[in-house]
Chain A
Amino acid sequence: MATATIEVRSTRVSRPPVEWRPLLLSLPAIAILLIMVVYPTIFSVWTAVHQYNPMLPEMDRFVGLGNFEHAFQDRIFLDTVWRTAVFVVVAVTVEFVLGFGLAITVFYLIPRGSSLVRLALTMPMIMPPIAIGLVWRWLFDGQFGLINYAMKLMGLPPQIWLGNTTTAMGAVILVEVWQWMPFVFLCLYAGLASLASEPIQAARVDGAGPLQLLWYIVFPMLKPIILVVLLFRIIDCMRVFDIVFVLTEGGPSNGTVLYPFLIYMQGFRYFNVGYAAALSWLLVVFMSILAGLLIRMLQKGSARVA
């Protein structure tokens, strides 16, 4: 009997006590996140299953999944999803190709000027998007814009850049590329600078040309950082709002409405709050998948570059 008590006690002692301090110290942070992120997300569930318009409270009624069903029959929504997909793919591809090319060029061919180039290319990323969007609107101006002036100098016909769906979309992509191509450049430049030189020298001794070196040695070695950079860009591109708001206001004829801007229009211009909440949920679900991927990579630290 006595030995049994001792045994029970010893197992209890061997189990470490629960460590409450991380949770305790995180409480203020968790509280703010619960109020500003978790509660609003859960509240959106309620709105998403209602036809809810704050201007017409008497019309408020439960519609179940009606808002979601409506979304998949809504021409504007389906067009926006397609447009956003095109925007993300084109913008991220161009950013990556230019950024990668520039990183290779600066790193291998002009090592001496690199710090100046990096300083200059840091600026666009941190500028207020709202100021950026406006300056570009000024540059794209049909009458007084510098871009049309340059077109005239080259003997090309001037365009009403922001007045035509295709060129307006091109303008939004250009501004996005302008602001974030430097991000790809700076990350990949840091990646190149951190690569071990032995494999490259070994391949060179074995007679590999510059393009072979790039494709078979440098590219595979950079792969982890490339994946992280691409995920960052894809996630950010899916959240673009400010640039659209000032550069084109979604126009002409909704031609540059991207997903976040559609949520804004439905919620704050047409007051279809229930519908906007449903659209928000679809975006959150999709982005959570991408974010999960990225977080797993960051947590593993596999892409860490010093």
Chain B
Amino acid sequence: MKLAISYGQIRRVAPTVAYVVVLAFVVFEVFPIFWMISTSFKSRWDAFRLPPVWLFKPTLEHYFTILSGKGWATTPVLPLLINSVIVSSGSSLLALLCGSLSAYGLSRFATRYSKHLAMWILSTRMFPPVAVAIPVFLMMSNLGLIDTYWALIIPYSAFNISFVVWMMRSFFDQIPVELEEAAMIDGCSRIQAFFRIVLPLTLPGLVATGVFVLIFSWNEFLFALILTRTAAKTAPVAVADFVTLYGIQWGQLTAHATLISAPIIILGLLFQRYIVKGLTLGAVQ
């Protein structure tokens, strides 16, 4: 008997099999996020029910609990989110400002050392942050900056500057020098040419880079854990509060996690096409 399966038969079923396999992977990747959000809206009885209830009466009780600060977290969630917003936007602005300046210089005035300078700046991106955690902690304690916004804004912008320089340099490279030169012949100074010609043209790139830096800073955990206590504590750090002696408070915890993730999910949906480019430092568009 000959082998009954022909190449043509494989060809016919392959797309169907492919759909099933790909669908399974998509479900695997999306389900935990869905499960986090859905658990946060379940009453404490529904949350623990097995088999799981898919249709349930949604409740906001966990959100009210964490917003009022009556839950297991030592602080209400709103100040934590505000701290997160201040720290991540502050560090993003600082990184964008310093990084873009440097990127513009490296892009426009190429010299012998600029390549080495760019490489050195990029190398700080690969640095393991935990390796400098202790010295940074000691430095911040000596300066009395522990539990202040600056204690996070400065390290976060340092970790992101390399990214901004690298991305913005490629955006500046794409803008023909002739445009600036034309403007300068027409009487603009270089600074005016930069603000009137170059900046508007690189604005989409600047926004995309900023979104990335914002996501990195928003998600950062280790430095926020060691450098803040209460006043400047960011939202991710408070997660540990829900792991209590009496077990883990899953309802409040998933509500908290959903609140932290919501802005990221929205940014992700809006800027999806830049994300792979950013994560590969521009190697993949």
Contacts and interface: CB of A to CB of B under 8 A. Distances in A.
A54 B135 CA distance: 12
A106 B51 CA distance: 33
Given A135-B35, A178-B32, A126 B102 contact: no
Interface in B148-204: 154-155, 157-159, 161-162, 165
Contacts of A183: 276, 279
A123 B262 CA distance: 11
B248 interface: yes
Contacts of A260: 128, 130
Contacts of B267: 126
B207 interface: no
B52 interface: yes
A37 interface: yes
Contact of B98 (A29, A43, A47, A139): A29
A251 to B, nearest CB: 13
Contact of A39 (B98, B102, B119, B135): B135
B39 interface: yes
Given A44-B132, A144-B48, A294-B126, A138 B264 contact: no
B269 interface: yes
A255 interface: no
A123 B136 CA distance: 31
Interface residues of B, number: 99
A110 B12 CA distance: 13
Nearest to B154: A36
B53 interface: no
A239 B220 CA distance: 13
B275 A122 contact: yes
Contacts of B121: 26, 29-30, 33
B141 to A, nearest CB: 9
A66 interface: no
B72 interface: no
Given A228-B280, A273-B134, A126 B275 contact: yes
Contacts of B106: 22, 25-26
A81 interface: no
A245 B260 CA distance: 17
A240 B157 CA distance: 20
6 contacts: A33-B124, A109-B14, A187-B284, A225-B283, A263-B131, A284-B127
Interface of A: 18-19, 21-26, 28-30, 32-33, 35-37, 39-41, 43-44, 47, 54, 98, 102, 105-106, 109-110, 113, 117-132, 134-139, 144, 146, 149, 178, 181-183, 186-187, 190-191, 209, 225, 228-229, 232, 235, 238-239, 241-242, 245-246, 260, 263-264, 267-268, 273, 276-277, 280-281, 283-284, 287-288, 290-292, 294-295, 297-299, 301, 303-306
Given A109-B19, A128-B219, A299-B118, 12 more contacts: A26-B165, A35-B154, A36-B158, A40-B132, A106-B22, A135-B33, A138-B36, A138-B254, A149-B50, A241-B222, A273-B134, A283-B130
Interface of B: 7, 14-15, 18-19, 21-22, 25-26, 28-30, 32-33, 35-36, 39, 47-48, 50-52, 94, 97-99, 101-102, 104-106, 108-111, 113-115, 117-119, 121-136, 138-139, 154-155, 157-159, 161-162, 165, 215, 218-219, 221-222, 226, 236, 239-240, 248, 250, 253-254, 257-258, 260-261, 264-265, 267-269, 272, 275-276, 279-285
